Amino acid sequence: MNETDLAFTPALELAKLIRRRELSPLELVEIYLNRIQQLNPKLGSYFTVTADLAIADATAKTELITQTSELPPFFGVPISIKDLNPVAGVPCTYGSPALLNNIPEFDDGVVSRIKQAGFIILGKTATSELGSFPYTEPTGFPPARNPWNLEYTPGGSSGGAAAAVAAGLCAIAQGSDGGGSIRGPAACCGLVGIKPSRGRVSKAPVGERLAGIAVNGPIARTVADAAAMLDTISGYVTGDPYWLPDPEPSFLTAATTQPKNLRVAFTTGIAPLGEADATCKQAVLQTVKLLEQLGHQVAEMSLDLSALVEPFQIVWQSGITASGLPAEILQPLNRWLLAQTGSVSEYIQAIYAMQIVARQIVALFNNIDVLVLPVYLHSPIRVGEWAALSPEDTFQQIVNWIAPCPPANATGQPAIAIPVGFDSHGLPMSVQLLGKPAAEATLISLAAQLEAANPWIQHRPNLAT
């Protein structure tokens, strides 16, 4: 394989090449760093590239591989970390230029597990300010762009992570999802994105906030890569407010196991916010047809989230207040959201209301195994498309766009975004699979079955390297 082929090789395959000593961690890191140097200026995928740290780590791992065969699963594989998650000694900006000199002294819990799995960190990927927006255009940084068409967004808030994976600027990425921030960028960039169940991935060492709606998870080129990374980052840490038992068998095993015939429901609209556009609807209907051909029982259903929109908004926007950043340094939309923040009583009432709706949504799964729905209600927006709108109008556009994503955050259920094709602008099309609580294995098995029936790994964006 040439260097470009290696850059787009699945992470698990790279790990095998390293174990067989057909490729060294140092060689691989240098390939990715060269691509970052060439392509990041046009993509805006990374805020910070930790080249010296990555080369030092790769050099040590290249030496270590000659001394032992006892290696962790992703030994020597390059990864990126979203710039909402602290890495000791590396700037963590949370998408704000005011925090360029914020250097954490500790690793986030998910980062610790990533290091333990043998990954090599290449840098911190771009995020929207405080992770608030489903596009990645924070003030003071270049906008993140979609590798498939640079005029369009790669989504957000894990937009830099998804763009980096799609462009071959890392083998796999860590993202986080508080309202679609893994699934949306994965969909925009033609990748697999898993939003795990609540309690699957620890939020250590910090405490929980946002009523448990936000989780960390993988963004990858293949279902197997995403499943294997989820295996490595999952697990209880002492003091976690909620947790799930380790999966038996592993999520990677689920990716190689045929699912049983499942009861699958689907919808192409979210009341009261409307129907998906023609492209997103086509993605769902195309997937439904394939599921039927694979032997699953499929039926249409409706999903009314009228009672969820307001309480979820109140809980979600509380993260801006919790950041502690003063209003004057925030972007206009975050400043406006901060001004909308109500009392503690209103916040608690919103949690209660959200939990009531969440129970109703979970109850739908008494009769189904999986719900297929769009990731977003319309195709990706252009970079800067909403820049001239008022904060109020921008927020309404966001709510209408991401409507299919918040239900899984409210309920804590697992969800996975997978590619299904391309639209007329050359942008990826995607669907979302929503599963029963703690049933990531079912979603992973089904996603792998769909991946085998409709492969996407052979597709690459047309970039100049």
- Point out the residues that are catalytic: 82, 157, 181
Q: Looking up tokens 């260097």, which residue turns up?
A: 3
Element (H, E) at 428: strand 428-435
Give the largest Cα separation in the chain, rounded: 61
User: In a 3-state reduction of DSSP, which class is residue 90?
Assistant: strand
Sequence letter at residue 334: N
Q: Helix-strand-coil percent breakdown of the chain, rounded to 5?
A: 40, 15, 45
In 3D space, the residue among 337, 397, 330, 451 whose CA is nearest the CA of residue 153 turns out to be 397
d(CA 341, CA 357): 21
* Residue 380 falls in which region: left (phi positive, over 0), alpha (psi -120 to 50) or beta: beta
Sequence letter at residue 134: P
Q: Backbone phi, then psi, for 269, in 5-degree steps?
A: -145, 160
**Which residues lie closer than 8 Å to 117 by C-beta, 6 or more apart?**
72, 73, 74, 229, 232, 233
SS (H, E, C) 368-392: CCEEEECCCCCCCCECCCCCCCCHH
d(CA 84, CA 73): 25
How far out from the chain centre does Cα 317 lie? Answer: 19
Tell me the C-alpha to C-alpha distance, in Å, between residue 128 and each of 58, 94, 120: 30, 8, 24
d(CA 372, CA 303): 11
Tokens representing residue 367 in the block: 């009769």
Strand-pair category, 415-422 with 192-195: antiparallel
In 3D space, the residue among 293, 287, 386, 369 whose CA is nearest the CA of residue 333 turns out to be 386
